[in-house]
Amino acid sequence: MKQPDYAAYARFYDYFELAGCEESEELNIFLDELFRMNSIKTVVDFACGTGAQAVGLARSGYKVTAADLSAEMLKIARKKATGLPVKFVTADMRVAELGCHDAAICIFNAIGHLTREECADFFVRARNHLNPQGVFVADILNFKAMSGKAFAQYRRMRREAIIDGLLVQHVRNCTLLKESRQLKIESLTRSQDGKNTPREIRDDWQMQLYDSDEFYTLLKSAGFSEINFFGPVGCEFDSETSDSILAICQK
Ligand SMILES: C[S@@+](CC[C@H](N)C(=O)[O-])C[C@H]1O[C@@H](n2cnc3c(N)ncnc32)[C@H](O)[C@@H]1O
């Protein structure tokens, strides 16, 4: 599956994807409550990006192993985690061997970068990374909701920020490919340094989406025993209208 060029996008990621960070912070509070209830001490984050969950969880006292495919994303995460108990690893979740943990997470649609077959294999791999009774948490955009009203807010996104003294604009257009259940994304990131000619980065990628039945089947086939769905940041899940599916599964 074609991915965004995270090497080029890493320096903009926090400004355009985690802007304000409220959602990440709310999710970290939800994960902390869930993990406390399940006596979780160690966590592996399979696609940590710039550390939105890994750093937050380490601050709450968990021992975190944080992996990502992109060295540039990890570089930013490492900086944020200075002094915290996080072990960073450059690893591909499709083949990673990171030892056993009390919990495993893969957040913010990172699973959408995998094909359906890769996702099915990854769920088995994630389960194998868990200690007995371990908890797996993964989220993905909900294809059913995206086929309805939820798509309107994703169709076109426009953000701008001052980054390292430069005005940077990020524009994104999304198309829903109903047959393949994929989201096609085209983006333009434009940075303006004074009166110089603006620098433009164009990118495009696709993400695999799932409805809750399909997601449930993949998780069940991987061997998870208890599978519960929540909506974004842990609110109640509605299979037709919740933008995303947050799956909480037990080994
Ligand atoms: C949308 S970001 C999510 C990052 C983070 N979890 C967050 O909430 O901000 C997706 C991340 O998945 C990583 N990624 C994509 N494919 C991967 C793979 N096969 N193995 C490990 N990481 C991968 C990318 O490098 C990127 O950092």
Note the pLDDT tens digit of each residue in 150-173: 999 899 999 999 998 889 999 999
Whether 85 contacts 59, CB under 8 Å? no
Closest ligand 1 atom number to CA of residue 73: 27
Note the pLDDT tens digit of each residue in 12-68: 999 998 876 677 889 999 999 999 999 999 999 999 999 999 999 999 999 999 999
Residues 43 and 122 reside in one and the same domain = yes
Whole-number percent of the chain with pLDDT over 90:
88
Name the residue type at position 191: S
Q: What would the mean pLDDT of 120-127 be, rounded to a whole number?
A: 98
- Per-residue model confidence (pLDDT) at position 6: 96
Residues 102 and 50 reside in one and the same domain = yes
Closest ligand 1 atom number to CA of residue 109: 1
Mutation to probe ligand 1, out of 18, 53, 70, 172 (largest number of atoms < 8 A from CB): 70
- What's the number of domains the chain is made of? 2
Residues 59 and 113 reside in one and the same domain = yes
Kindly give, in sequence order, each residue whose CB lies less than 8 Å from that of residue 86, ignoring residues fewer than 6 positions away: 51, 54, 55, 58, 64, 65, 66, 77
Q: Which residue's entry shows tokens 């994304």?
A: 185
Rounded to whole angstroms, the Cα distance separating 136 from 119 reads 14
Q: Which residues line ligand 1 (CB under 6 A)?
A: 3, 6, 47-49, 52-53, 68-70, 73, 92-94, 107-110, 113
Residues 171 and 113 reside in one and the same domain = no
Residue 178 maps to a domain: yes
Residues 190 and 234 reside in one and the same domain = no
Closest ligand 1 atom number to CA of residue 45: 6
Note the pLDDT tens digit of each residue in 182-199: 999 999 999 887 777 888
Distance from Cα 180 to the centre of ligand 1, integer Å: 21
Residues 227 and 156 reside in one and the same domain = no
- Domain containing residue 120: 6-141+210-250
Residue 214 maps to a domain: yes
Which protein residue has the closest C-alpha to ligand 1 atom 26?
49
Note the pLDDT tens digit of each residue in 61-89: 999 999 999 999 999 999 999 999 899 99
- Per-residue model confidence (pLDDT) at position 211: 97
Residues 214 and 95 reside in one and the same domain = yes
Q: 33: which 2 tokens?
A: 């409550």
Mutation to probe ligand 1, out of 11, 27, 69 (largest number of atoms < 8 A from CB): 69
- Per-residue model confidence (pLDDT) at position 20: 62
The DSSP code sequence of the chain is -----HHHHHHHHHHHTSTT-HHHHHHHHHHHHHHHHTT--EEEETT-TTTTTHHHHHHTT-EEEEEES-HHHHHHHHHHTTTSSEEEEE--TTT-----EEEEEE-SSGGGGS-HHHHHHHHHHHHHTEEEEEEEEEEEEBHHHHTTGGGHHHHEEEEEEEETTEEEEEEEEEEEETTTTEEEEEEEEEEE-TTSPPEEEEEEEEEE-B-HHHHHHHHHHTT-SEEEEE-GGG----TTT-SEEEEEEE-
Q: What would the mean pLDDT of 2-17 be, rounded to a whole number?
A: 93
Residues 93 and 135 reside in one and the same domain = yes
Distance from Cα 172 to the centre of ligand 1, integer Å: 18
**What CATH number did the domain enclosing 96 receive?**
3.40.50.150
